[in-house]
Amino acid sequence: MIRLYRLLSRRFAADPFGGEGSFRFGGRWSSPGTRLAYASEHQSLAMLEFLAHLQPGDDPDDLALAVAGVPDSVTREHVRPASLPGNWREAAAPAALARLGDDFARRVHTCLLFVPSALAPRERNCLVNPAHPDFARIRIRPLEPFAFDLLLSRGRG
């Protein structure tokens, strides 16, 4: 069993792995209209990803940590950094990355797609497809309140 982590605002936490954010706004690995949940293999990477994508007006004081237990039998595939375009880590992600995630969601062949983090390429994020039948086997734990340590937030705001 592995665990996946998402850090999100409580106002968006009703269905933490439902993919509503990517459906509305898209992301590095998907276009608007594609429903995928972005998660991380480690809580620390989920924190880093959240901080990197923090927008003006976001309230980092109203956060929840979502944790999912994923049985080993849940289907998955992996993207290797070497298979990606040379500019895959740039802030303006190449369109090929969104096409990759969109195709993954559309195929509904596997439930999880592990992708390298643009922030920490030796670590992985995971795209979770809530439309895949294996999604029903993922156990989402009750949300945990979350607050960043004051040492991390000292330079913000």
Length in residues, the chain? 157
Give the mean model confidence (pLDDT) for residues 5-14: 88
Question: Quick one: pLDDT band at residue 61, thresholds 50, 70, 90?
Answer: confident
pLDDT of residue 56: 73
Question: Quick one: pLDDT band at residue 151, thresholds 50, 70, 90?
Answer: low
Question: Quick one: pLDDT band at residue 155, thresholds 50, 70, 90?
Answer: low
Say if residue 156's pLDDT is above 60: no
Distance from C-alpha of 120 to C-alpha of 86, rounded to nearest angstrom? 15
Structural domains of the chain ordered from first start: 2-153 (3.90.175)
Q: Higher-confidence residue: 157 or 13? A: 13
Say if residue 14's pLDDT is above 70: yes
Q: Which of 35-44, 68-77, 107-116, 145-154 is least confident?
A: 145-154
Give the mean model confidence (pLDDT) for residues 47-72: 86
Distance from C-alpha of 94 to C-alpha of 51, rounded to nearest angstrom? 21
Distance from C-alpha of 142 to C-alpha of 103, rounded to nearest angstrom? 31
pLDDT of residue 85: 94
Q: Which pTM does this prediction carry? A: 0.90
Please write the tens of the pLDDT for every residue from 74-100.
999 999 999 999 999 999 999 999 999
Say if residue 157's pLDDT is above 60: no
Taking Cα atoms as reference points, which of 83, 139, 140, 70 lies closest to residue 110? 70
Rounded to a whole number, what is the distance in angstroms from the first to the last CA of the chain? Answer: 39
pLDDT of residue 147: 84
Enumerate the H helices of the chain as residue ranges: 20-25, 43-52, 95-107, 150-153
